[in-house]
Structures are given as structure tokens and as C-alpha cells.
């Protein structure tokens, strides 16, 4: 099944001075891992947080791949915690560490399962040619307002409190993530991992164009450029990964 995976990824600085997003992946014969992280913090601290988290996660995947086969949820919680410990080690002696935060959207796939892990407002969508089947729920003020029926899905991205998170990852606190374990990716299904700079200005129905049989890297690039243009000079960093089973 994993031999049938097709994937693309891209990142853009948008209209910011620094790209604090980070993306990483590893595709092997028996598992695949994708991650998007969006750093938060002044100067370069957010950039470091997202990079260090991704580095920790990728470096530990072979160890936790084996443990996931036995007790998936417990293994994922331990994996995330150890990735944050790696962050802590990489930040040693850095005075910016306490103000350095990151979101994360992590997709792990093997022959038996799909695991989605997230914290903050970086998202994972599961899409087929007809429907957005599922997406992660942000840890943010707008998501709370949406849950209460006070704003629409589209209004979440343009809400004045869009960047107010209720959770993020920082080396000084135990990581609190949501974990969803689901069925393996089916033929024709697409997963989209992205930072908020991408989804803020892309409607859910527009994501369906990325799940069509003929779609690929050009369509992904076009949608990312559209997200930047719609921000009208105020674009955040834009990062997106596209994963499909052919």
C-alpha cells in the first residue's frame, strides 16, 4: 500500500520576513510519516521551535514505529513527549526557549492504520473526490466560536482572534495533543497537512480540487499562491503537504 503513495510538499514565506514553518517527511516500505509545524515567537525563536520539534519527531520514528504496533495511542503520546525532550536539548542555553512555541500536524500511516496528531491550528484534512471526510479541530478561539455556532467555517480564517491559540508546544510544558486513530488510507483518498497560512484563505470545497484524479503538484502550487494573494499583502507563512494513495 505505501508503495502506492504519491506526495508533494511546498512552503512559502508569504509576506513575512522569516519563515517559521517547518515540514518533514519519511516514507519507508512499511510506514510513512508527514509533519507540518508552525513556529510562534519573536525573532527566530518560533523558527527554531518548529525545526527542533520536526527534527526530534523524525529522529525517533523508527523506535516508535515498532511500539505503535503494540499500543498505538500510548506509543504516540510517548513519541511526542520524547520529541519535545529533543527540542529541550537543542534549546539548551538559548534564552529564547521559554517564548518559543510551535503547532504541529502529524500524519503517520502503515498497513493497519492512519494516525493523526495535532496541536494548535495546523490542520490535517482527509478528502476523497466528493467530500471533505474529516479535519482536525483547531485549538483556538475561533474554533471554539465555530463549535458554538457563532461563526462559519470561512469566518474562522478571517476572524480577528484567528491567531489566539488555546494550545501549543513549548519545552517548558508537557505536550497536550489530540490523537485520532483511523482506518488505513484508501485508494483515491488524499490527506492535506497545512499551516494556518494555507487554510485561512482556502474554502473546504476548494480542497476537493486537490483530490481529483488529475490533480497533482501544479494544482497544489496554484492553491498555495491563491492563499497568498487572497491575504492581500498580509499573508502568513504558507506550508502544505499533499499525500494520496493512487
| Strand locations in the chain (E) | 5-12, 21-27, 31-40, 101-102, 104-110, 114-119, 123-127, 132-135, 178-182, 190-194, 238-245
pLDDT tens figures, 92-119: 999 999 999 999 999 999 999 999 999 9
pLDDT tens figures, 44-60: 899 999 999 999 999 99
Distance CA 68, CA 148 (A): 35
pLDDT at 74 over 80: yes
Spacing of C-alpha 94 from chain mean position: 26
What is the architecture, at CATH level 2, of domain 2-245? 4-Layer Sandwich (3.60)
Q: What angle do CA 144, 137, 36 make, to 5 degrees?
A: 130
| Cα-based distances in Å from 113 to 8, 31, 75, 152, 186 | 21, 10, 14, 31, 11
Where are the chain's structural domains? 2-245
Distance CA 25, CA 36 (A): 9
Task: Give kind and range of the element (H or E) at residue 61.
Answer: helix 45-68
CB environment 77-95: b (16+ within 10 A), e (fewer): bebbebbbebbeebbeeee
pLDDT at 42 over 80: no
Amino acid at each position: 500500500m505505501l508503495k502506492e503513495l504519491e506526495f508533494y510538499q511546498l512552503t512559502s514565506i508569504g509576506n513575512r520576513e522569516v519563515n517559521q514553518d517547518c515540514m518533514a517527511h519519511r516514507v519507508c516500505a512499511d510506514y510513512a510519516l508527514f509533519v507540518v509545524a508552525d513556529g510562534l515567537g519573536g525573532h527566530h525563536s518560533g523558527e527554531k521551535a518548529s525545526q527542533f520539534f520536526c527534527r526530534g519527531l523524525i529522529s525517533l520514528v523508527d523506535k516508535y514505529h515498532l511500539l505503535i504496533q503494540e499500543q498505538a495511542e500510548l506509543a504516540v503520546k510517548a513519541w511526542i513527549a520524547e520529541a519535545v525532550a529533543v527540542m529541550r536539548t537543542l534549546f539548551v542555553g538559548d534564552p529564547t526557549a521559554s517564548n518559543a512555541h510551535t503547532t504541529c500536524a502529524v500524519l503517520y500511516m502503515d498497513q493497519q492504520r492512519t494516525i493523526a496528531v495535532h496541536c494548535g491550528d495546523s490542520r490535517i484534512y482527509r478528502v476523497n473526490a466528493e467530500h471533505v471526510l474529516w479535519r482536525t479541530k483547531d485549538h483556538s478561539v475561533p474554533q471554539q466560536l465555530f463549535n458554538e455556532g457563532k461563526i462559519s467555517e470561512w469566518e474562522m480564517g478571517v476572524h480577528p482572534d484567528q491567531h489566539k491559540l488555546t494550545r501549543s508546544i513549548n519545552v517548558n510544558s508537557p505536550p497536550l495533543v489530540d490523537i485520532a486513530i483511523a482506518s488505513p488510507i484508501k485508494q483515491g483518498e488524499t490527506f492535506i497537512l497545512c499551516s494556518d497560512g494555507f487554510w485561512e484563505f482556502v474554502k473546504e470545497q476548494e480542497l476537493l480540487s486537490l483530490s481529483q484524479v488529475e490533480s497533482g503538484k501544479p494544482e497544489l502550487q496554484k492553491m498555495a499562491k491563491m492563499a497568498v494573494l487572497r491575504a492581500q499583502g498580509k499573508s502568513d507563512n504558507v506550508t502544505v503537504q499533499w499525500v494520496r494513495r493512487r
